[in-house]
Structure 1
């Protein structure tokens, strides 16, 4: 009788396990889109049919294929005759480079300060928490406008400036999880064996909180893309002759009625990319966060 009940329970649990293991369709589509964007970013030079700065004045404002245009310029051309597809491919690489770089800087800065606050406590912890509160209270757009107006604009400065956005979240998460891990047995045992703080936090604490930090990074990644697009749209981000998705949207708004394809192509990529990253981030949170199980 027990064997029969065990087999019945196993038969019922097997489909449930398969359902849990199967990826939702929106997540599959989101992963496919992100894989496509990464492929385009890596192989941008090979995929671009024209140099993104090449001019073709005879084909200015040429429409895309679906609107009566020729396959020579599949997504049409802009006001200077530059191929929209080539500029879109290069813009994807630039925007993803900025987003990845800024997200990495923000995560490293926040985790480092969070670990320092958790390790030293006292005055250091109070100073870090004061910085966190100041960063959370300061409107980042005003800070970005002031820095770019005072120091000028360059790509490394722009990436580092965006990296200052949202680091306080990582600091709060890293500090809270590090304090919790420090009170558990494995961290105390490693300290008792004489391990250095670098080894304790780098080899033992960080791997145990990595899943939460990864989920936070995936949720903050779309914000960096949108912030870069907004600043580039205002003319404060990526400067010509370089191009980004927000830069293309900024130029395309002047031709919205005559040549809407200049703006629609990068806008669609921004929406789909941010939506895909958000879907993957929500799915990872559901899978990795033990409090939601």
Structure 2
């Protein structure tokens, strides 16, 4: 008697919702714009055209020379928008990576040493969570002045306690499992245990947390730049453009609406991708 060959069940293809596909496509577009900003900008973002001050966009009576219109100094809104996308994404990516690195490192320290080190880290976590970050940022920027490096580092400390809590809890859980204990008994150093064995197993959770924190960083940068404590002229960012455009909201709304539209779509896209990744990577939500 010949038994039929065992058939393997085909794996279901990865179904990506249409909104998530839109979010991915939008983020790819923003990254392409950021990397090629110097090549695709029609004008230098600081170039003045005083003859076309507050010129309307195409379709509203504006010249073809400036498709999205000009601002109060005759600067091309499209060129400034392209450069602003690059700087805002640089700030958001840099701050997100700093926050993830600081929080994950402190979480691993608390999980490894325990005792008073763990209590100290948890006290810092509770203190940071209880302190309004916007007030802290305003105080630091007003006291120490502003520079792009300080601004990125300061935003990097936003929500670091979130990563610290996640890394500590998952590292303690991994330490109680067999693979981490086996590697430790073989004489591996803590750097190897946490860097080569623990971190890859919790990376998916940290990545989801980063996608959720990324839009918060963009909104914080926009808010601080709107208040005049973010990116300083002649540099420009999306929040900086919104801050300067508010004074011309009734006369030239395109100055404000163009960067505001980019901010909304970018934060919306990252939030969509973060929610989808959380549903895909968290086994309790499947």
Normalising by structure 1, report the TM-score.
0.94
Q: Please state how far the C-alpha of 1:22 moved relative to its aligned partner.
A: 2.0
Equivalent residue runs for 1:121-270 within 5 Å: 121-270=114-263
Partner of 1:52: 45
* Residue matched to 2:278: 285
Q: Distance in 1 between matches of 2:158 and 2:90?
A: 16
SS in 2 for 1:65: coil
Cα drift, residue 170 of structure 1 = 0.1
- Residue 72 (str. 1) matches residue 58 (str. 2): no
Partner SS for 1:67: coil
Structure 1 stretches of 4+ with a deviation exceeding 6 A read none
Q: How many residues of Structure 1 are paired with residues of Structure 2 in the alignment?
A: 283
Q: How far apart in 2 are the matches of 1:253 and 1:154?
A: 23
1:115 aligns with 108
State the alpha-carbon separation in 2 of the partners of residues 26 and 164 from structure 1. Answer: 30
Q: CA deviation at 1:188?
A: 0.2
Distance 1:145 1:262 in 2: 25
Counterpart Cα distance in 1 of 2:17 and 2:98: 31
Which runs of no fewer than 5 residues in structure 2 stay unpaired?
none
Q: Distance in 2 between matches of 1:156 and 1:169?
A: 23
Offset, 1:71: 1.8
Q: RMSD of the TM alignment (CA)?
A: 1.4
Structure 1 position 30, deviation (Å):
0.6
Give structure 1 stretches of 5+ with no counterpart: none
User: Matched residues in 1 for 2:142 and 2:253: separation?
Assistant: 31
Q: In structure 2, how many angstroms separate the alpha carbons of the residues matched to 1:141 and 1:277?
A: 22
Distance in 1 (CA, whole Å) between partners of 2:17 and 2:139 is 44
TM-score for both structures, normalised by structure 2: 0.96
| Cα deviation 1:190-247 (Å, max 9, x = unaligned) | 0000000000000000000000000000000000000000000000000000000000
- 2:18 and 2:135 mapped to 1: Cα distance? 40
